Structures are given as C-alpha cells and as structure tokens.
C-alpha cells in the first residue's frame, strides 16, 4: 500500500459522509503530529527560526495545495505557520485531508533538512 504522501488528493463533490471511527483513527495515526479537532478538521503548527523561513514554507504549501486541488487554511506568524484542513464539500474529513497533511509533513521535513545543511 502506498504511503499517504505518495497518493493524490481526490476532489470531493459531496454526498459522502465524513470519516469517523476506526477509519478516521487509522488515517490520523499516519500523521501523528496533526491533531484531529472534534472529528471535523486537522491542525498542526510548524516552527521556524524566523519569518522568512515560515513564509517560504507557507508559499510551498500554497503551491502544493494548488497542485493537489485541496486548499487548507494557513496562518502565518513570525517563526510559525499553522495549517488547518478539512473537506468543505462535506464539512468534515476525507482521506484527501490526510494525504495533504502527509505531503505538508514531507515539505516541512525537507525544509528542516535544508536548514541543517546550510548551518554546516
């Protein structure tokens, strides 16, 4: 089975129930840094040493969101970016939210590795 980060977000047209129960729990375990809030959305805060790096990260998240056709809410502050996502068409969570979360995690890991390489 492919990992979530290797999958692609699938547009939701509605008419399907939001994830719940064991199915929701199984996907949530695959992105453990993300918090499921009221079974409705997932959220994660990302830390950076300054505003410039946080901005670069949210710009890369924006590019990813456009590519995937799945758009999270993004809060940018000095040294911090907070991402919240859910599927608006059903007002709840779908697998695409967790796919996007895994892809965002991969972007953050890449950003951390790049920062470490620059500090050497």
Q: Contact at 8 Å (CB) between 11 and 110? A: no
22, 23, 36, 69 from 19: Cα distances, Å: 9, 6, 11, 19
* pLDDT, position 1: 40
Domains, the chain, with CATH or none? 19-118 (3.30.1360.20)
Q: How much is the pLDDT for 23?
A: 97
Query: pLDDT tens digits for 20-73?
Result: 999 999 999 999 999 999 999 999 999 999 999 999 999 999 999 999 999 999
Q: What is the pLDDT of residue 15?
A: 87
56 vs 116 pLDDT, higher one: 56
Give 68-115 pLDDT, tens digit per residue: 999 999 999 999 999 999 999 999 999 999 999 999 999 999 988 887
């Amino acid at each position: 089975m492919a990992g979530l980060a290797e999958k692609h977000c699938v547009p939701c047209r509605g008419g399907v129930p939001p994830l719940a129960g064991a199915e929701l729990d199984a996907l949530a375990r695959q992105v453990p840094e993300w918090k499921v809030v009221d079974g409705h959305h997932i959220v994660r805060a990302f830390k950076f040493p300054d505003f410039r790096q946080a901005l670069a990260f949210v710009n890369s998240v924006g590019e990813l969101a456009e590519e995937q056709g799945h758009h999270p809410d993004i809060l940018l502050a000095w040294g911090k970016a907070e991402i919240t996502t859910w599927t608006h068409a059903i007002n709840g969570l779908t697998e695409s939210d967790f796919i996007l979360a895994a892809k965002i995690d991969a972007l953050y890991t890449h950003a951390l590795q790049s920062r470490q390489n620059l500090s050497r």
